[in-house]
Structure 1
Amino acid sequence: MSADLLAALLIGLLGSSHCIVMCGGIVAALQLAIPQRSFGWKLSMQLLLSLGRLTTYTLLGGLVGYFGVQAMALAGASLLWLRLVAGILLLLMALYIARLWFGLTLLERGGQHLWAWVKPLSQKLMPLNSLPRAYGYGLCWGWLPCGLVYSTLGWSLASGSASQGALIMLCFGIGTLPALLSFGSLASNLSKFKNRPEVRYTAAGILAIYGIYTIYLALKRLVF
């Protein structure tokens, strides 16, 4: 299962170019919303925002992972079907990271309805003038519609357990941190590195191979 966690980390790291597009405006707005205080205080606020977001990801991963196991138990189906679904999702995410297919972004439309309920709560936490408010806003931020997040949640659903689903989402969230916590030239250089074709294709190839291997193992045990 450690390979799943490494794959989730890689998806978060390489897929975070989309996170910059989706969340870059939010990050910039939050920078302005944070009062002018010491660098250490601002850094603490940024870390708590990210911690809140990762908390939401982890809790959602655990919930959907538990739901997946219970649903398969009620249906009397083998958990190997979940591994088959996980392999297919890995292939789709590999295509997304390689920028060969952008179908995952269609999932964001469905999440807009859910975000409509969460957004007013996040606005009540403004301005971000305390550490608890920063953490609370981060919790809300984790619900922002994102096709890559939803796809990774689908993978958590097929993970086979609540704990594994939570860990997959946690590792995915950690992978997005470098892009969302970096600033200025560092952020620009990081983005340029991740957008290099050889980097994207290599990462996508690794994910695709792992996805195919996961599908193969699931089918092998289901058929034989």
Structure 2
Amino acid sequence: MMDPTLFAAFSVGLAGAGHCLGMCGGIAAALGLGASGKGTVIAYHGGRLLSYTALGAAAGLATGIVDTAAWTLFLRYLAGTLLLAMGLYIADWWRGLAWLERLGARLWRPVQGLASRWLPPRRPRDAVLLGLCWGLMPCGLIYSALALAATRQDPLASGLMMFSFGLGTLPAMLAGSLGARQLQSLLRRRGMKLLIAALLMAAGAWTLYITASHSGHLLAASAGGHAHH
């Protein structure tokens, strides 16, 4: 069976269109209106995706240091729970994940000061650096996707998940940069958000079910391996 978390990471980015446009739409629109043209827009979003991917790889490396059955089970349960939570968050039925944004705001302040050095970006290099900084902004969707990516316990897999998340944000952000109002309207529709929220919650429920079904076997196999040692 295909791991649902890769699709989930993309869906979180896509479904968070309204959230993304609210938090980053201003800078995206400014880039689109700038004299430096589409090259700067592409450089900025490339920097954002690079930032997300690097964060995912670091998270996967950190969680992969511990390799026990109990830790792996905990991370899988966490992944399923986060999928459910993100579905509720995107559907605006529960805003519990907003605490991540409040926590991240403290970490964002020094980065924000650094990012201001490249506003407005006059060259593609400045836009890349600005995008790298903007990937660290206090956003509950970013942090939730990062926590989900960390459950993969592998730098490559976790980095790929965050790259997928970044790809999911591109339609909304590019629409903001290029002034595609019809696409922005589509991505903000309540029905679209509810559809993706339902898919995320279904993926979360399935992840929890599969984890619970195989937990006994995984723990027994781990215990048997330790006994042989």
2:199 counterpart of 1:198: no
Instruction: Look up the match of 2:201.
Output: 208
Q: Which residue of 2 aligns with 1:62?
A: 57
> Residues of 2 paired with 1:191 and 1:170: CA distance?
21
Alignment partners' CA distance in 2, 1:190 and 1:100: 24
CA distance in 1 between counterparts of 2:104 and 2:47 reads 19
> C-alpha root-mean-square deviation of aligned residues, in Å?
2.1
Deviates more, 1:193-202 or 1:161-170: 193-202
Picking from 150, 159, 167, the partner of 1:166 is: 159
Show the counterpart of 1:153.
Answer: 146
Q: How far does residue 196 in structure 1 lie from its aligned partner after superposition?
A: 3.1
- Structure 1 segments unaligned to the other structure (5+ residues): none
Matched residue count: 216
Q: CA deviation at 1:24?
A: 1.4
Q: Is the 8 A contact 2:176 2:184 kept in 1?
A: no
Q: Deviations over 1:167-219 (max 9, x none)?
A: 11100001101111114996432233233333222211111111111011111
Separation in 1, partners of 2:176, 2:127: 19
Q: 2 CA distance for matches of 1:63 and 1:202? A: 31
- Check 1:104–1:191 CA distance in 2 against 1; reply closer, same or farther (3 A cut): farther
Q: Which among 96, 104, 115 is matched to residue 103 of structure 1?
A: 96
Partner residue in 2 for 1:45: 40
State which drifts further: 114-123 or 2-11. Answer: 2-11
Matching residue's letter, 1:124: R
2:8 equivalent to 1:7: yes
Q: Distance in 2 between matches of 1:89 and 1:138?
A: 26
User: Is residue 152–residue 158 contact of structure 2 (8 Å, CA) maintained in 1?
Assistant: yes
TM-score by length of 2: 0.86
Distance 2:144 2:178 in 1: 30
Q: Distance in 2 between matches of 1:199 and 1:112?
A: 29
Contact 1:68–1:157 under 8 Å retained in 2: yes
2:40 maps to amino acid: M
**In structure 2, C-alpha distance between the alignment counterparts of 1:182 and 1:25, rounded to whole Å:** 12
Which segment drifts farther, 201-210 or 178-187?
178-187
Q: d(CA) in 2 for partners of 1:218 and 1:96?
A: 23
- Structure 1: distance between partners of 2:179 and 2:29: 15
Equivalent pair of 1:115/1:144 in contact (CA under 8 Å): yes
Pairwise CA distance, 1:2:
5.3
Instruction: Provide the C-alpha distance between the structure 2 equivalents of 1:182 and 1:30, rounded to a whole number of angstroms.
Output: 12
Distance between the aligned counterparts of 2:21 and 2:157, measured in 1? 27
How many angstroms apart in 1 are the aligned matches of 2:81 and 2:98? 17
Aligned CA distance change for structure 1 residues 67 and 185 (closer, same or farther; 3 Å): closer
Identity %: 38
Distance in 2 between residues matched to 1:76 and 1:183, nearest whole Å: 44
Q: Alpha-carbon deviation of 1:76?
A: 6.8
Contact conserved, 1:69 with 1:79, CA < 8 A, in 2?
A: no
Q: Which runs of 5+ in 2 are unaligned?
A: 218-229
Identify which range, 143-152 or 18-27, moves more after superposition.
18-27
Instruction: Please give the alpha-carbon distance, in whole angstroms, between the structure 1 residues aligned to 2:96 and 2:50.
Output: 27
Question: What amino acid sits opposite 1:4 in the alignment?
Answer: T
